[in-house]
Structure 1
Amino acid sequence: MNTVGNTVLIVVDIQGGDVEPSAARTEIPHMDGRAERMPRVHELIRRTREQGIPVVWIQEVHKPNLVDIGRELDGSEGPHCIEGWPETELSQGLRPRPDEFLIRKRRYSAFFGTELEIVLKAYRAETLFLIGGLTDVCVHYTAVDAHQHDYRVRVVTDCVGGSSRQAHDAALRAIHYLQRDALVEQHEVLRWLDTAVPNPEVERADRTHLAGRTV
């Protein structure tokens, strides 16, 4: 697996709170396999943190009156990710650490109208790993914008899920069309993490913080 420069793991919209899927009011179709994906997601986040690679969290949120939802209801999706709904919160067991960024967005792409680009510049990122969902919507649109911002994209294919299996597969093909090395699997990333170099910007920030506390 090829990476270049500093890397960042972006966790895209893994939401649902502690709500059982059958009880959720969010009107978005999902392909099956979530139960099998989540242990891989947890393990990848854990190992990424241990290796000193930044984790950035993305959460889609809309006001209850839907003033900020734009054209998102023109397609197959009903109201979703509403502020105050328990299922809008990040999934059970997934919580950002105090030093990690949680970026809330109003559109599908994590780059659109958010501070993500500022955060990635702070980390001097060049390669972005993407996990989460939906593969054919928020992951796809974020990957495309990352490509257009000249980042190298690595979508962890067994840690993302689409609105359907067909849409998931089609989105992965489209991402691969943009970057030939974009598709990787979790076991490849874990193997790479065994020898990955921690992000120096994180280490520099930690040293500065500790120095400031001792003055």
Structure 2
Amino acid sequence: MSDEDLLENYRRAYNTKVGFGERPALIMIDFCQGYFDPDCDLYSGVEDALASALRVREAARAAKIPVILTGVSYHPSAIDGGRFFEKAAPLRYFIEGNPMGAFAEGLEPADDELVITKQYPSAFFGTSLASTLTAMGIDSVLLTGLTTSGCVRASCVDAMSHGFRTAVVADACGDRHDAPHDANLFDMNAKYADVVSEAETIDFLKNLSGKSAG
């Protein structure tokens, strides 16, 4: 099947948009220092994704919607890392106290921003995120973060599975190579979420802010 035929095949089967919700929250997934340090195994050259996410965060704060940051942290013995820690060697940088696990420069959490600490790929697995969003009356999430093929994808599938309208902000997500980044955005857009641009997201948030002011 040619690339053109494949795209047409997907358009016939998977061409539905669910749209942004009415009460969204912004989730910023695992923007940790290790992804930006060339001396770290996690380094992925994703500075553009962080810059985009910070612009989306600014618009989200202006719209007065919740901003939630996630990070990964393990006990010094890594006993809480399970098979994930056993399989993925770079997770050693997330052992409690390692500076590579700290939030990237420019993404220090504000006092009114919730931080969710996790041990597995999804921001929802083993955390209070779903129940917290539900209690806040949130109906949808805007996902940004690292990496597209890992924790962003896992969080996307779980967000949809928990009943939240899910938008993945493509410009504000990153991976160490374009191939897994693009393939996972394509697949998430087909089955689990709307993949949207930074510009679309910021326009939506500006309109939301205008409605709130009105």
TM-score w.r.t. structure 1 length?
Answer: 0.82
CA separation in 2, counterparts of 1:123 and 1:95? 23
In 1: Cα distance, 2:128 partner to 2:38 partner: 33
Cα distance in structure 2, aligned partners of 1:77 and 1:182: 31
Q: Deviations over 1:118-142 (max 9, x none)?
A: 2201221111000011111100000
**Distance change (3 Å), C-alpha of 1:13 and 1:20:** closer
* Alignment equivalent of 1:174, drawn from 174, 177, 187: 187
Q: Give, in whole Å, the separation in 1 of the partners of 2:117 and 2:128.
A: 9
What fraction of aligned residue pairs are identical, expressed as a percent? 27
Aligned mates of 1:114, 1:199 — CA distance in 2: 32
Displacement of 1:87 in angstroms is 1.3
Code of the residue aligned with 1:8 in structure 2: it is A
Counterpart of 1:90 (choices 70, 85, 103) is 103
Match of 1:112 in 2: 125
Q: Distance in 1 between matches of 2:180 and 2:187?
A: 10
* Deviation of 1:199 (Å): 10
Q: Is the 8 A contact 1:54 1:199 kept in 2?
A: no
Q: Indicate the structure with greater helix content.
A: 2
Q: C-alpha displacement at 1:90, in angstroms?
A: 0.7
Q: Number of residue pairs matched?
A: 194
Q: CA deviation at 1:75?
A: 4.1
1:126–1:151: 8 Å Cα contact kept in structure 2? Answer: yes
Query: What is residue 211 of structure 1 aligned with on the other side?
Result: none
Counterpart of 1:184 in structure 2 is 196
Tell me, yes or no, if the aligned pair for 2:72 and 2:117 is still in contact at 8 Å. yes
SS in 2 for 1:125: coil
For residue 111 of structure 2, what is the amino acid of its counterpart?
P
**Is the Cα contact below 8 Å between 1:52 and 1:198 reproduced in 2?**
no
**Aligned match for 2:58, one of 28, 41, 46:** 46
Q: Does 1:131 align with 2:144?
A: yes
Task: Name the CA distance, whole Å, in 2 between partners of 1:13 and 1:75.
Answer: 18
* 2:139 alignment partner, SS class: strand
Residue in structure 2 matched with residue 208 of structure 1 by the alignment: none
1:8 and 2:25 matched: yes
Match of 2:114 in 1: 101
User: How do 1:48-67 residues align onto structure 2 when only pairs under 5 Å count?
Assistant: 48-67=60-79
Structure-1 separation of matches of 2:149 and 2:36: 23
Q: Is the 2:28–2:53 contact (alpha carbons within 8 Å) kept by the matching residues of 1?
A: no
Runs of 5+ unmatched residues, structure 1: 201-215
Please report the TM-score for the alignment, with normalisation by the length of structure 2: 0.82
Matches within 5 A, 1:22-37: 22-24=38-40, 27-28=41-42, 30=44, 32=45, 34-37=46-49
Partner of 1:160: 173
1:41: Cα distance to partner? 1.6
Shift of 1:64: 2.4
Task: Show the counterpart of 2:37.
Answer: 21
